[in-house]
Structure 1
Amino acid sequence: MTVVREALREAAARLAPVSETPRLDAEVLMAEALGLTREAMLLGRLDSDAPEGFGALVERRLAHEPVAYIIGRQEFWSLDLKVGPGVLVPRSESETLIEAAQSWFGNEAPETILDLGTGPGTLLLAALSEWPDARGLGIDASEEALAYARGNAEALGLAERAEFRIGNWVEGLSGTFDLILCNPPYLDSEDDIMADVRDFEPHLALFGDAQGLGPYREIVPRLAPFIAKGGGAAIELGKGQMDNVDKICRAEGFETRRWRDLLGIERCLFIHI
């Protein structure tokens, strides 16, 4: 019988051609098969027999299925979010938007939050966990994504402060919000992206037009009436898009602040009047 330590080594070698993080993927899948946290597995189960179900999980990853879909969840801002086919997998670089908002509000706190393109509730639920007196609204064009968002809000004890609606950005909305969060589809339709993303994640949440700038040209000119006095909007960008999106925002009369993610990529534009 193969022990966990050996099974991890073999799986990581097999996954290397299809993953940028083959060892991590193998460890996460093994922990899932064992029904343990990754930390508990690494600390106490490396010499245990590898579970039979591990091989099937590895095969799914070899077919490029995202690890988050295989295990059914993804961590974001220390929250455990349920995800699956039809919903965009939360990514750590999106945490830059929450960091930018924290810097803007400082010791104050937003009371009302709007998340445009909320997906599984990623940014809205992270913000509500950060500011416990805030209430928020998440908008998405996908009912499938909104079902995940509502389930995540319930599981995290945030359902009373989070509302989710089907919609097209700010169309049909009224009122103002202290903080607007937005992660639009910004990939160029011609981009060469990993099969994990291209073949599994929803294209509606991924691709803009050529250069990926179309959603910004659609959204930014409509934002000002929805930003409360003293508030602002944190908008996620793709690599290399900062200068173009900054011009779009400044043409609409916004002041802008640029934020980099942990890899040094200009990832978030915080805009305000």
Structure 2
Amino acid sequence: MRIIPGLKDGASIEEAVRLVAQMFKLAGIDEALVDARALIGYALKLSRAQLLSHADRILEAREINAISALAARRLKHEPVSRILGHREFWDLEIYVSPDVLVPRPETETVVEAALDIVLRSGMRLEKLRILDIGTGSGALLLALLQELPNAVGIGSDVSEAAIAVARGNAERNDLARRVHFVVCNIADGLAGPFELVVSNPPYIPHGEIATLMPEVRDYDPNLALDGGTDGLDAYRAIARDAPRILAPRSHLIVELGMGQESAVAALFQQSGLTVSPARADLAGIPRALVGQKTIP
């Protein structure tokens, strides 16, 4: 397999990195060099430091074939995290499958907002009950459990396959004893109350899915993307359940899509929640909306 021009027998690791990165750049792939290093390191079972220290090592034919196979997948815009099968999220190693979203950096904004509330309330060591609606890979819930040593959590999802991935991630990160995963829609059948509810729900308007980057459109599960005609279907369902599942003075924190803050805030206010301005992500986009149940 020779899909990278110039990558042939006798090439060094340094040459392979340069040629693959060049091909990625020509294909319009962002962070071409970062991706090239990640995939070549994976193919050769070398860390980034080892890639640099062994830069002049000559590659064997089988190694070139392995690198070419991985590069071919990336050139089809398959995300690196899906090729590798895992991604780091909040210092956790989160494994993914085609049935779940790859956890993204902006979702860490929800973790930050939740921890800020808990820490300001002096409740870090309390036995909090946390619910993660639409848990997917479990990344959001597991990050919170890692930071809150006495908390316990429930993750809900309509997808049995996603729940299986989440359970596996809980076990790998030694958090399985404090978490339970349930196949259900939103919070159906869950009694509560919970002191903290979080969610990264589907929020892409149905008609916009076809316009998404191929890394998202072609590889993320549609079930985790499609938020209905206006992108707000999941938020409406969460808002309906919020008064029932939230404990008094507890908080609901959801990830937002771009431009959705006012619409979601209105839904939460209609359900009796007090809403605070959304916390922005690193790009300055309002990303984590907080609602509090202030009336018993």
TM range (shorter): over 0.9
1:228 maps to 247
- Which of the residues 4, 8, 29 maps onto 2:17? 8
1:27 maps to 37
Alpha-carbon separation, structure 2, partners of 1:46 and 1:249: 55
Runs of 4 or more consecutive aligned structure 1 residues displaced over 6 Å after TM superposition: none
- Which of the residues 153, 165, 172 maps onto 1:148? 165
1:81 maps to 94
Root-mean-square deviation over aligned CA pairs: 1.4
Alpha-carbon separation, structure 1, partners of 2:14 and 2:285: 35
Do structure 1's residue 263 and structure 2's residue 283 form an aligned pair? yes
Do structure 1's residue 48 and structure 2's residue 57 form an aligned pair? yes
Alpha-carbon separation, structure 2, partners of 1:65 and 1:158: 30
**Residue 48 of structure 1: how far off its partner (Å):** 2.6
TM-aligned CA distance change 1:204 to 1:24, over 3 Å: same
2:223 maps to 204
- Does the Cα contact within 8 Å between 1:113 and 1:136 map onto a contact in 2? yes
Aligned residues: 272
1:94 maps to 107
TM-aligned CA distance change 1:7 to 1:140, over 3 Å: same
- Mind listing any 5+ residue stretches in structure 1 that lack a counterpart? none
Helix, strand or coil for the counterpart of 1:196?
A: helix
TM-aligned CA distance change 1:178 to 1:49, over 3 Å: farther
**Residue 229 of structure 1: how far off its partner (Å):** 2.6
Matches within 5 A, 1:100-115: 100-106=113-119, 107-109=122-124, 111-115=128-132
- Does the Cα contact within 8 Å between 1:18 and 1:62 map onto a contact in 2? no
Q: Which amino acid aligns with 2:67?
A: F
Alpha-carbon separation, structure 2, partners of 1:245 and 1:208: 12
- 1:2-57 Cα distance to aligned partner (Å, 9 max, x none): 1222211211121122422222111111111121333x235423333343211110
Q: Which amino acid aligns with 1:75?
A: E
- Does the Cα contact within 8 Å between 1:68 and 1:84 map onto a contact in 2? no
- Which of the residues 138, 149, 165 maps onto 1:121? 138
- Does the Cα contact within 8 Å between 1:189 and 1:210 map onto a contact in 2? yes
Matches within 5 A, 1:182-201: 182-191=199-208, 192-201=211-220
Alpha-carbon separation, structure 2, partners of 1:46 and 1:251: 60
1:60 maps to 73
**Residue 190 of structure 1: how far off its partner (Å):** 1.7
Q: Which amino acid aligns with 2:222?
A: H
Q: Which amino acid aligns with 2:164?
A: A
Q: Which moved more, 1:134-143 or 1:105-114?
A: 105-114
Alpha-carbon separation, structure 2, partners of 1:156 and 1:167: 24
The structure with the larger Rg is: 2
- Does the Cα contact within 8 Å between 2:254 and 2:290 map onto a contact in 1? yes
- Does the Cα contact within 8 Å between 1:146 and 1:164 map onto a contact in 2? yes
1:218 maps to 237
Q: Which amino acid aligns with 1:227?
A: L
- Does the Cα contact within 8 Å between 2:13 and 2:51 map onto a contact in 1? no
- Does the Cα contact within 8 Å between 2:157 and 2:185 map onto a contact in 1? yes
